[in-house]
Amino acid sequence: MAWLMVGDRVVASLEIASTRRERRRGLIGRDGLEGALLLERTRSVHSLGMRFPIDVAHCDAGMRVLRVTTMRANRIGRVVPRARAVIEAEAGSFRRWGVAPGTELEIRR
């Protein structure tokens, strides 16, 4: 189990998708997500086959948020060239957690 941190606050439990297979599956087929999902080595995502809207944060190598968007189901997102990871959560989560462009995130394992 890992934790997503904003500053010194734990904002969510965190699942980590490290392998190609885990990244490809992502949140497809789920009815919701408690916490967040980290997709390592990822620059773009889609929501094809998803059952709920998601918040998406593209992060650089230092886990600084470059771009935040909310995606409805069955959409294809933009590639963010400087992104090295993506965090996904249920839509509305990032606003509650204070995640926005420029936010420094930390992963605690």
> pLDDT band for position 102 (50/70/90)?
very high
Condensed to tens digits (0 to 9), the pLDDT of residues 41-53 reads 999 999 998 999 9
> What CATH number does residue 49 fall under?
2.60.120.1140
Q: What is d(CA 40, CA 88) in angstroms, rounded to the nearest whole number?
A: 11
> Which pLDDT score is estimated for 97?
98
> Which pLDDT score is estimated for 28?
83
Q: Which residue range(s) make up the domain with 44? A: 2-108
| Contact present, 105 and 59 (Cβ < 8 Å) | yes
Residue 29 has pLDDT above 90, yes or no: no
3-state helix, strand, coil in the chain (%, to 5): 10, 40, 50
CA torsion 3-22-73-15 (nearest 10°) is -10
Condensed to tens digits (0 to 9), the pLDDT of residues 48-82 reads 989 999 999 999 999 999 999 999 999 999 999 99
Please give the tally of structural domains in the chain.
1
- 80-99: b (≥16 Cβ within 10 Å) or e: beebbbbbbbbeebbeebeb
